[in-house]
Chain A
Amino acid sequence: MEIITYYNNSWKLHRKHDLKVLYGYYIYCKNDTTMYVSYNSSKPSVPPSRIVYKGYNLVAINPSTNDYENYNGKVKLSDYILSINNTWIQILDAGGYIYTRNDNISNVYLEPYNIYWLAMSNKDELMGRNVH
């Protein structure tokens, strides 16, 4: 089994137990299996954020409560990139679709817990949504 993420322009093997919100991971398994993921949200905490670097970043989507109430857990791309509005270039999903800053993204939604490649023109801080 292998867990790998892409951080600061290079692949990193993830050899820890915990996975982090807003980070995308590829998980290699020899056989089909079920993976149980739980949030440790027993205490009030600051909403997540992470550094995203110039170039590609492997990011993930965490929906907020109102995303579930309003969009079945999907997250509006325009909301997702609010904190990096001046530095994001494009976002690619696993199916090969690309949305750029020049596109009309008002009706583009990102799937919860999916991974995306986020291209940045500069280092910035991506603000996440409250952990649901």
Chain B
Amino acid sequence: MLKKIILIFSFIFLISTVYSASAPVLPASYYGTVNVEGGGVLNNVKLVAKINGEVRGSIIVKDNKFGGPSYSEEKLKIDGTQEDNGKTVEFYIGNYKSKETVIWKSGDVKELSLTFPRNVLYCKNSSYNNTSTNNSSNENNNNEKTASVQTTTIITYPDVAKDIKSEKIKEIVHNAKLIIGSEIDNNLSAKCLKNTTELINQPLEITEDCILVGGPVANPLAKKYLYDFKIKVTNDYPGANKGVIEKQIINGHTVILLAGSDRYGTKAAVEYFKTLDDIPSEPIFVEWKDGKAVKIEKP
């Protein structure tokens, strides 16, 4: 008897899953801009919309914009049911929530201006896989394929030089403290790497990852830790217009030395460092020649 009841309930359940009592309700669609407090550019980051903590839609932000008003442009489409009318939609990039919310209403097509905290620029969702159906109409495709989309999120660091070649070096420069010993090195070299530097006039303890710009004459920290590095930069070595890029772990922190025998040697080290894919495991010798940094053999 119990088995019969279960079978009857199963049958009713199967019938009810064939179609729901009411037809689907129109989704809400949004497009607009994403602003970062204090400024900054978000590019190729995923903007996610949630209702009651449940992800309902997403779109990729490009140059602080998502979607557009024209029918030919993409929109952030948020599906819902009649019960969702009046519920609050929240917007996220990574774990950061926008200040603004919107009330979900079936059929809405709205332009939004969303504001995120400055830290959104530094969120670490470096990549993600998003398996979803194509957002645009594919009614001609009867194969019912599910498109697999892989998107790499590129974080823009507003404080580091845009001409740094690799994302890894950008991140390293962004996360490290840039320490200089003279304004001349700052103006000639360091500010071409990062726009926030710390000028010191006495040797400090190294308590975090840092990049030392300038040789031992100009930079007190370079002087203090000179003998921790494999190559000892002096006024005479590696020589005029020559410099070195090297790394050492000091006090458990990664310290990168970009230093030269003179200011153009330091500039060569900084400029060549910007072209690298990663921190070199062995020292690299460079020279400032004909207005650019070139790699040279060990002098």
Q: Per a CB cutoff under 8 Å, which of B27, B109, B137 touches A16?
A: B137
Q: Is A114 an interface residue (CB 8 A)?
A: no
Closest approach, in angstroms, between the C-beta of B295 and any C-beta of chain A? 48
Q: Per a CB cutoff under 8 Å, which of A7, A54, A56, A92 touches B137?
A: A7
Q: Is A37 an interface residue (CB 8 A)?
A: no
Q: Per a CB cutoff under 8 Å, which of B20, B139, B144 touches A12?
A: B139
A11-B77, A54-B18, A89-B18 known; A4 and B26 CB under 8 Å? yes
Closest approach, in angstroms, between the C-beta of A85 and any C-beta of chain B? 17
Q: Which one, B67-75, B96-104, B158-166, B190-198, is touching chain A?
A: B67-75
What bracket does the count of chain B residues touching chain A fall in? 20 to 34
Q: Which residues of A contact B27 (CB under 8 A)?
A: 4, 11
Q: Which one, A20-28, A63-71, A75-83, A101-109, is touching chain B?
A: A20-28
Quick check: B79 and A3 within 8 Å, CB to CB? no
Interface size, chain A (Cβ < 8 Å):
32
Bound state CA distance, A20 and B140, in angstroms?
10
Quick check: A121 and B18 within 8 Å, CB to CB? yes
A11-B79, A89-B19 known; A6 and B137 CB under 8 Å? no
Q: Per a CB cutoff under 8 Å, which of A8, A15, A90, A117 touches B71?
A: A15
Closest approach, in angstroms, between the C-beta of B82 and any C-beta of chain A? 13
Bound state CA distance, A117 and B74, in angstroms?
25
Bound state CA distance, A3 and B139, in angstroms?
14
Can you report 14 A-B residue pairs in the complex whose CB atoms are below 8 A from each other? Answer: A5-B139, A6-B24, A12-B135, A12-B136, A12-B138, A13-B74, A13-B77, A15-B74, A16-B137, A26-B26, A28-B29, A54-B18, A56-B24, A119-B19
A-B pairs with the 4 shortest C-beta distances?
A117-B23, A14-B137, A119-B19, A12-B137
8 additional contacts, CB 8 Å, given A11-B26, A27-B71?
Answer: A1-B69, A2-B109, A13-B135, A15-B73, A28-B107, A50-B139, A89-B19, A92-B23
